[in-house]
Amino acid sequence: MPSICFYFQVHQPYRLRHYSFFDIGQDHFYEDVEANRTILDKVARKCYLPMNALLLKMIKRWEGRFKVSFSISGVAMDQFAEYQPEIIDSFRALADTGCAELISETYAHSLAALFDPDEFRAQVKMHDDLLMKHFGVTPHVFRNTELIYRNDIAQMVEDMGYDAILTEGADHILGWRSPNFMYSPQSCNRLKLMLKNYRLSDDIAFRFSNRGWEEWPLTTEKFANWAHAVNGNGELINLFMDYETFGEHQWAETGIFDFMEALPAAIFTSPDMDFVTPSEAAKRYSPVAKVDVPNAISWADVERDLTAWLGNDMERDAIEACYALKDKVMATGDEGVIRTWRRLQTSDHFYYMCTKWFSDGDVHKYFNPYGTPYDAYINYMNVLSDFGMSLS
């Protein structure tokens, strides 16, 4: 019977305050402190603290048979430490059980892997240093921002010494193959590749409370039967999703917490099925084939590509202008300046500029604090203009 691997992305960006053209050259403070604190308070109350408490309860109840994993962005960890240290304490309690693995990513939840390999490696090290500082762990598995992946990224990750990398089980790269096996990157000799089962993942993350879905309501018995049906056609079911699924995107009133609490018992009705961490999966399962991904994929939107962040001229102009400042930023030797530049790399800033619509439009509107993508672009470029001037 196959194993189930839960992975949750935990991320909060540093949001920018309203910054007008007339602020340029006058005010060098860019972040919306009140929004950052308020949103973190809300998500902590609705998701992080109650869900962490529930997972700890589940791990103890099942005496280590139930397992999960997280990647927590560096900018999220910084906000936890600044505004609500009890969130870090609650994640530490989970990590200390040995049943909640912490995974590496970029410090700023950035697109550095696509634009600057040296900066990418620097941010990964920064992130791993934070994991050691707050949790006393060294990660052995990597996930890139928004599961962005291609062959050269896998090669860099293997060179940095990780055992496995996570990405999307996109149909256009798998073809007839199933995501429910361990694979290896085309470009690597040792690194293992874990692919998200997006159908089963999205049943929880996106469709759980959709009363128009033909499978609503999603019960634990129904979901467990789908997982059990993989037997003979797969070894590993990777369920990857935003952690804010629990309590924020799917409110507590939908029954999402009750669903998760009851899920292990339903899964364990098949005695040979278990839960594993990514590191355990990498040790247990051998690759069945290599996967060639020359063009970048992600877990975003129906296309599973980069168009959520680089799909229009505004996004490309903004991100290229940001990375063009690197030499001037590094020449300052100022830790505060470098930190500001890295926070301006956070992928959310460019996501807010996305002009996609059709099936993805509601998603982009939901997450966008600006009135329009054009407002997001203008605000970001005003900030970047002032920041660039301050480096002269």
Structural tokens at position 249: 């995107």
| Catalytic residue list contains 146 | yes
Enter the tokens of residue 242. Answer: 């935003």
Q: Of residues 101, 105, 146, 158, which has the active-site annotation?
A: 146
What phi and psi values does residue 330 have, to the nearest 5 degrees?
Answer: -70, -30
Catalytic residues, which ones? 146
